[in-house]
Amino acid sequence: MNLFVTGGCGFIGANFVRYVLKRESTCRVLNLDKLTYAGNLASLAGAEEAAPGRYRFVHGDIGDHDLVAALFAEQAFDAVINFAAESHVDRSIADPTLFVTTNVMGTQVLLSAAFAAGIPRFVHISTDEVYGSLGPDDAAFTEKTPLAPNSPYSASKAGADFLVHAFHETYGMNTVITRCSNNYGPYQFPEKLIPLMLRRASRDESLPVYGDGGNIRDWIHVEDHCLGVYLALTKGSSGAVYNFGGHAERTNIEVVRTLLGILGKSESLIRFVQDRPGHDRRYAMDYSLAEKELGYAPKWKFSSGLAATAEWYAQNTAWLDGVESGAYRNFMQAWYGNRL
């Protein structure tokens, strides 16, 4: 396989590039990444050496039509896998502009260029957040659940999903959409709940839990998400949507307390702070379609996955120091301000 991966320097993209190069010994990957604050070349350190001649990085924007079309003209790709996105809900609340530019318009540029170049398959990485929020007793989201996004982030992801669907229906493009629940694991930027709490707790800093801490997420280890994307790429039906989850619904406060237990730190670090506006209460994924059609089954249990992740962050402080740039610190200061 010759794959055109976007956003491969981000959390999930980097894990996927490593995963697929290892799993498929003849697979080649071109990784197009804009290197925003969330993109780090360090997350793919050693990838080139581990797969000589099979990995290439190109610095660029998925919304740059001329660049994307030129890359598609250079060689024949078997598939595009679009991970590139602005991905943090809090940032989308602070300023939605870039979310529409990259997540909606960037996806359209990539779709148009891939269609013009005749690329046989387009795998688009979406999220459970496009389905909106569940009540405590509601059934988990299925692929048939109507889209009802609540944040600028999820609205922009839903916009992209509609475009992918439209390219399939209108132009007959071979597309697959994957929708996954909250990921955790190595190389996640420390603005998301789990790495943020690990980072702050390790320094005995206060831990900002939004609202009452009762919001529920359905956690999946990033390796299980990579498996799902690989199966969707290789076995998914054209035009299909596949949900992926880790069968691990937890309240945020449970997650934070578990992390404190793993680190041996005191719960007195917890601070309940003002809630996120429009904060979705609960996500839960029904991924039985992926089980049935793709043979998907998550391998990680949440307890052991969380312990392994805590260990990874403890061992990789140099990576963390490297990604915490000045721009990142400025956002954190502006966002949390005096809430801590």
CA 169 from chain centre, in angstroms, equals 26
When asked if residue 12 is in the footprint of ligand NAD (CB under 6 A), the reply is yes
Lay out the site mask for ligand TYD across 253-282 (x = CB under 6 A, - = otherwise). -----------------------x------
109 three-state secondary structure: helix
**Residue closer to ligand NAD, measured from CB, 6 or 258:** 6
Q: C-beta of 26: minimal distance to ligand NAD in Å?
A: 25
Q: Which of residues 106-145 bind ligand NAD (CB under 6 A)?
A: 106, 125, 127
210 sits near ligand TYD (criterion: CB under 6 A): yes
Separation CA 4–CA 81 (nearest Å): 6
By beta carbon distance, the residue nearest ligand NAD is 10
- On the CB side of 229, how many CA atoms lie within 13 Å of its CA? 33
189 sits near ligand NAD (criterion: CB under 6 A) = yes
**Which part of the chain contacts ligand TYD (CB under 6 A), choosing from 5-13, 28-36, 208-216, 260-268?**
208-216
CA–CA gap between residue 226 and residue 12 (Å, rounded)? 8
Between residue 145 and residue 164, which ones bind ligand NAD under the rule CB under 6 A? 157
Given ligand TYD, ligand NAD, none, residue 9, with its beta carbon under 5 to 8 Å by kind, binds ligand NAD
DSSP string, 220-273: EEHHHHHHHHHHHHHHPPTTEEEEE--S-EEEHHHHHHHHHHHHT--GGGEEEE
Kindly tell me which of 265 and 286 has the beta carbon lying closer to ligand NAD. Answer: 286
User: Is 208 an interacting residue with respect to ligand TYD (CB under 6 A)?
Assistant: yes
CA 324 to chain centre: 19
DSSP state letter for 313: H
Residue number with CB closer to ligand NAD (254 or 267)? 254
Q: Within a 10 A sphere around the Cβ of 47, how many other Cβ atoms? A: 20
Q: What is the smallest separation between the CB atom of 267 and ligand NAD, expressed in angstroms?
A: 25
Query: Which of the choices ligand TYD, ligand NAD, none does residue 33 contact, using the CB cut-off of 5 to 8 A by kind?
Result: ligand NAD
Q: Can you give the C-alpha Rg of the chain in angstroms?
A: 19
Region near ligand NAD per CB under 6 A, out of 59-67, 232-240, 277-285, 286-294:
59-67
6 vs 151 by CB, closer to ligand NAD = 6
Cα 220 from chain centre: 11
First to last CA, the chain: 48
d(CA 150, CA 102): 18
Residue with tokens 């789990």: 194
Separation between Cα atoms, residue 227 and residue 296, nearest integer Å: 8
What's the CA gap between 108 and 64, in Å, rounded? 11
Q: Report, as residue numbers or ranges, the catalytic residues.
A: 128-129, 153
Query: What residues between 290 and 319 interact with ligand TYD by CB under 6 A?
Result: none
User: How far from chain centre, in Å, is Cα 234?
Assistant: 20
Site for ligand TYD in 102-141 (CB under 6 A): none
Give yes or no for residue 35 binding ligand NAD (CB under 6 A): yes
- Mask for 64-103, x = binds ligand TYD (CB under 6 A): -------------------------x--------------
User: What's the length of the chain?
Assistant: 340
How far is residue 52's CA from residue 330's CA, in Å, rounded to a whole number?
Answer: 38
Chain residues that interact with ligand NAD, rule: CB under 6 A: 6-7, 9-13, 32-36, 38-39, 61-63, 83-87, 102, 106, 125, 127, 157, 180, 182-183, 189
Chain residues that interact with ligand TYD, rule: CB under 6 A: 89, 182, 192-193, 196, 208-210, 215, 217, 252, 276
